[in-house]
């Protein structure tokens, strides 16, 4: 069964939101920035970091950025602010500190 082309085009062009939440672009979950949900923000201190990668291992969202075995920062588009990274960061190091989120994700 095919949708009449006219209807499909109308739906796609009608507004920001096709009715009923129908998603017309396949695979667009990639564009959904779940970082919008965050109420606390992990702040990473590059100078204090010992690159043990515990935060990278424990992050449930894969939001710790790592290049060549070294932490390079946090992916705020997808970090939901759970604070596990800050909890797992060794107490003597404290390279990740949770702060109150004041605005939308960076």
Partner 1 sequence: MAVKMTRMTLTGNQAVALAMKQINPDVVAAYPITPQTEVVQTFSEYVANGEVVTEFVTAESEHSAMSAAIGAAAAGARAMTATSSQGLALMWEMLYIASSYRLPIVMPVVNRALSGPINIHCDHSDAMGARDAGWIQLYSENPQEAYDNLIQAVRIAEDRRVLLPVMVCQDGFITSHGLENLEVLDDAVVREFLGEYRAAITLLDKDRPITMGPLALQDYYFEFKVQQAEAMRRAPEVIEEVGQAFGQLSSRQYGFFETYQLEDAEAAIVALGSTAGTARVAVDRLRRDGLKVGLLKLRVFRPFPATRLVEVLTGKAVVAVLDRAESLSGMGGPVFTEFRSAFYDLSSRPLFVNYIYGLGGRDIGLDEFHRVGSDLRKILAEGKPRQIISYLGARL
Pairing state of beta strands 70-74 and 64-67? antiparallel
Nearer to partner 1, 2 or 92 (CB): 2
Assess 13 for contact with partner 1 (CB under 8 A).
Answer: no
Using an 8 Å Cβ cutoff, are 49 and 69 in contact?
A: no
- Asked if residue 23 binds partner 1 (CB under 8 A), the reply is yes
Query: Across-strand partners of 96?
Result: 44
Binding flag, residue 22, partner 1 (CB under 8 A):
yes
Rounded Cα gap, residues 73 and 13, in angstroms: 38
Q: Does 104 bind partner 1 (CB under 8 A)?
A: no
Selected binder of partner 1 within 13, 20, 50, 99 (CB under 8 A): 20
**Closest distance between partner 1 and the C-beta of residue 84, in Å?**
21
User: What is the contact surface with partner 1 in residues (CB under 8 A)?
Assistant: 1-4, 7-8, 11, 17-24, 26, 36-37
């Amino acid at each position: 069964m095919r949708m009449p082309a006219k209807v499909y085009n109308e739906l796609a062009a009608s507004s920001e939101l096709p009715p009923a939440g129908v998603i017309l672009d396949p695979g667009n979950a990639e564009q959904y920035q779940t970082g919008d949900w965050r109420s606390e923000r992990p702040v990473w201190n590059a100078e204090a970091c010992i690159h043990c990668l515990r935060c990278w291992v424990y992050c449930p969202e894969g939001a710790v950025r790592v290049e060549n075995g070294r932490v390079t920062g946090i992916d705020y588009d997808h970090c939901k602010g759970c604070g596990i990274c800050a909890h797992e960061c060794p107490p003597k190091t404290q390279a990740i500190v949770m702060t109150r989120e004041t605005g939308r994700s960076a």
